[in-house]
Amino acid sequence: MRLTKFTDLALRVVMRLAVMDEGEVPTSREVAESVAAPYTHVSKVVSRLQRMGVLEARRGRGGGLELTAAGREASVGRLVRQLEGTGDVVGCEGPSAPCPLRGACRLRSALYEAQEAFYATLDPLTVRDLVGGPSGPVMLRLLTGPPPPA
């Protein structure tokens, strides 16, 4: 299974916010720069994550982005399901040309089972898990940029 670019970006934004120090609230523009993504794309991702209850976005002076407690403990599987939607891996039902095998096809159910296995692998992981261990410090180094030359 391949994630959409939108989901990939959303997970990068969430991970970026998960390694922030307490009280640090970057702007959408700062987050976009740190994850090497266009500001307009990050803005759309932020809006969606805010509706999902994963992050809070405050405007104006002193504003910025911050993960919610629920966002920090969110299941990665649940996030990916919400971001990707619940559609089939293949489009058997289509208005223009539905597949003639759709009534007797075993592939569709096999792909559905594979998709559920994919999500089941992600379900026990939380956002906190993604940035734990060696990932968190590496992400922090990426955010601050390379060390200055000696």
DSSP secondary structure letters along 44-91: HHHHHHHHTTSEEEE-STT-EEEE-HHHHT-BHHHHHHHHH-S--SS-
Q: For the whole model, what pTM was predicted? A: 0.82
* Average pLDDT for 103-130: 88
Res 95: pLDDT = 67
What is the enclosing helix (H) or strand (E) of 129? helix 127-130
Of the candidates 83, 111, 84, the one whose C-alpha atom is nearest the C-alpha of residue 99 is: 111
Report the first-to-last Cα separation within the chain, whole angstroms. Answer: 44
Three-state DSSP class for 126? strand
User: What are the pLDDT digits (tens) for 26-82?
Assistant: 999 999 998 889 999 999 999 999 999 999 998 888 789 999 999 999 999 999 999
Which of 12-26, 71-85, 101-115 has the largest mean confidence?
71-85
146 has a pLDDT exceeding 70: no
User: What's the pLDDT score for residue 24?
Assistant: 84
Residue 149's pLDDT is what? 53
Contact present, 7 and 15 (Cβ < 8 Å): no
CB 32 within 8 Å of CB 42: yes
**Strand-pair category, 64-67 with 55-58:** antiparallel
- Cα separations in angstroms, 34 against 12, 50, 88: 10, 19, 33
Residue closest to 54 by CA, chosen among 37, 79, 34, 30 = 79
Provide the CB-side half-sphere exposure for 95 (13 A, CA).
0
